[in-house]
Every structure is written in C-alpha cells, then in structure tokens.
Amino acid sequence: MISNSTQTHEQALLRAALKGAIARASDEQLEQTGVRDLAARLAESDLDTSQVRNLENLAYTTDKVSDITDLLKKVIGRDGQRRRWAKDNVGQELIAALEALRSEADKIVKDIPDQLRGAVDADLPRRVHLDLCREFIKHLVAEFLYKAARTRKQER
Amino acid sequence: MGASVLDRATPAQRLALRHRLAAWSDSAQKNAVGLSEQYRDLLGRRIGNAQLSGLNNIVQSSPSMDDVKKFVAHQGDKAESAGRFDVKEYWETVGKALDTMESAAWTVASETGLAVPPKGSKPKEIKAALEEVQLALAKEWVQHLVAHSLMIARQ
C-alpha cells in the first residue's frame, strides 16, 4: 500500500521533471520549429497586435488544445480577403505546427523515469501538449511583436 | 422529472468532470473534423455559414438537447423539401453524431465518479440525469465541427 505522502512526493517530483522537460523543449522550439518564420510572415500580414494577443490569452486560459486550433480555424474562415491569418496559408501552417507538438509531448511522457510512473495518468500527454502549445505561442507572439515593431520603424 | 447527476456532485467531482470534458473534447475534435472533411464539397456552397452558425448558436444557448435535435432535423427537412438530398444526408449524419453523445455522456459521467443511473434504466431517467453532460459534450463537438467547416469553406 502506498501512503498519501509518498504519492504527493512522487507527484511533486513528476511536476519538477515535467517542468524541466517542457523548458528544454521550449528552448528547442526556437531553433527546431518554424516559429520564427511563422511570426515573420504574420508580421508581414495585416494582423494587428490585439489579434495575436487574443490567441495568447486564450492559450493561457483554456484547458484544451482544441480551443486554440478552433480559434485559429474561425479567424482563418473569417479572413475573406486573405490578408491576415489566411494569407499564404500561414494560419493553417500554424495549426499544423501546434498539432505536431503532440509527438513531442508523447516523447516527454515516455521519457519519464520509471520511479515516477505511478504518478502518470492517461491524460498527461494531452496536458503536456497544451503546455508545449503555450510555449510555442509565447515565442510566436514575442517574435511577432519584435518583427512588427521593426517593420513599423523601417516604414517611418 | 428526475435529478441531474450534477445536482449532487461535490466540488471535487465538478472539477474532475471539467478535466474529463477537456480530455473528451480534445479527443472528439478528430471525429468532427472527419465529418467536415467528408462533406467538404458542400461547405460554403450548399451548406452556408449561416446554417452552421445557427447550429452553433442553438447548441451554445439551449438548455435542452431536444432543441438541438429539432434544429438539425428541421435543416434536414428543409433540404429534402428543396430536393437537396446531399444536404439532407449531411444533417442526418450530424444528427446521428449528436445521438452518440448520450452514451458518451454516460461514460464521461461514470468515469468522473458521478452517480449515473444504471444501464437499462428508463430513458426518461437517463435523460434527466445526463442531459447537462450531453449538452456540454455537444457544445464541444459542434464548436469543432463549425470551426473546421468555416475554415475549409474559405478554401
């Protein structure tokens, strides 16, 4: 029989292990994914800051990955003139990039040490996926703001 | 009228249900996307954004699954009257998908530890107990369906 304090200790260790793995994956996203390219293309579109901030706010308040991709699909659908999220399929590529993070989440969960396996539940890969999406969007927004500011400066 | 499973749920069970619904929603997105893709050629043409928004509005605002099912059946009937049998088939498929949410609601509620009526209970009793959960699932599924449909209708 496992005591409650052992379970709590195991869960705390798991949270710490996941935090480290997600931080490493987040740093790698900047180099190994197309986040910079996507941000640059969004900065060249007619998107304004508030529309990108809306995406970031949703990502940090929702408990579902599908809420993020649904929001993107809706704004792509509303972009009749293809000047914002639908420009050159940038929104759809962003959805694909976010969905592709699921395999990274699965890998992070698979690599959890055996001694912490008891604290892993079936929903964990989904929650790690959500955390990776938040990290990706955080980078995307930061890069977007930087590039959009530079573009505006050059235009002055 | 019987009681909903949520009437006697503890705060911990309500929180557990919220987590379970989130997991269900993310897993159900694939099914909704599949249905949209199956009828890709009709979207934005024979099935307009107004109809999809109508479905989304009713599922988000109605307290009853019956209203949602009536809306879907009515759209199918209108399509049939107009001789648009492919559109009628679309609405029938949507209706069948919504019907499956009763058993999904039973599974989600029982996995959350809520006091679900045993299988084989009277349909009225099951409906009263699970309708709120069923509506919550329907809201998620329809949001996925409508979002993906709006996107591909633009292509």
Distance (Å) of CA B143 to CA A74, A89, B10, B25, B149: 10, 22, 28, 10, 10
CA distance A11 to A3: 13
| pLDDT at residue A1, as a whole number | 53
| pLDDT at residue A12, as a whole number | 93
- Cβ–Cβ contact B74 with A under 8 A: no
The model carries a pTM of 0.92
Helix (H) or strand (E) holding A98: helix A90-110
- What total number of domains does chain A contain? 1
Question: Minimal Cα distance from B43: which residue of A?
Answer: A77
Q: Write down the mean pLDDT value for chain A.
A: 93
* A87-131 residue pLDDT tens: 999 999 999 999 999 999 999 999 999 999 988 999 999 999 999
| pLDDT at residue A6, as a whole number | 74
Cβ contact B29–A71 (<8 Å): no
On chain A, the residues whose CB falls within 8 A of the CB of B23 are 123, 126
DSSP letters spanning B78-132? HHHHTT-HHHHHHHHHHHHHHHTHHHHHHHHHHHTT--PPPTT--HHHHHHHHHH
Question: Minimal Cα distance from B15: which residue of A?
Answer: A63
Burial state string for A33-55 with b = 16 or more CB within 10 A and e = fewer than 16? bebbebbbbbbebebeeeebeeb
* A16-60 residue pLDDT tens: 999 999 999 999 998 888 999 999 999 999 999 999 999 999 999
| pLDDT at residue A58, as a whole number | 98
- Cβ–Cβ contact B140 with A under 8 A: yes
- Cβ–Cβ contact A121 with B under 8 A: no
Confidence of residue A3 (pLDDT cuts 50, 70, 90): low
Written as six digits, the tokens of A91 are: 């929104």
Which residues of chain B are under the pLDDT cut of 70? 1-2
Coil, helix or strand at residue B47: strand
AA identity, residue A91: G
| pLDDT at residue B120, as a whole number | 85
Cβ contact B147–A71 (<8 Å): yes
* A127-153 residue pLDDT tens: 999 999 999 999 999 999 999 888 766
Distance (Å) of CA A105 to CA A137, B6, B61: 15, 33, 35
Mean pLDDT of A64-73: 98
On chain A, the residues whose CB falls within 8 A of the CB of B51 are none
> Alpha-carbon torsion A128, B11, A57, B33, what sign?
positive
Domain ranges, residue A109: 4-155
* B88-127 residue pLDDT tens: 999 999 999 999 999 999 999 999 999 898 888 888 888 8
| pLDDT at residue A156, as a whole number | 62
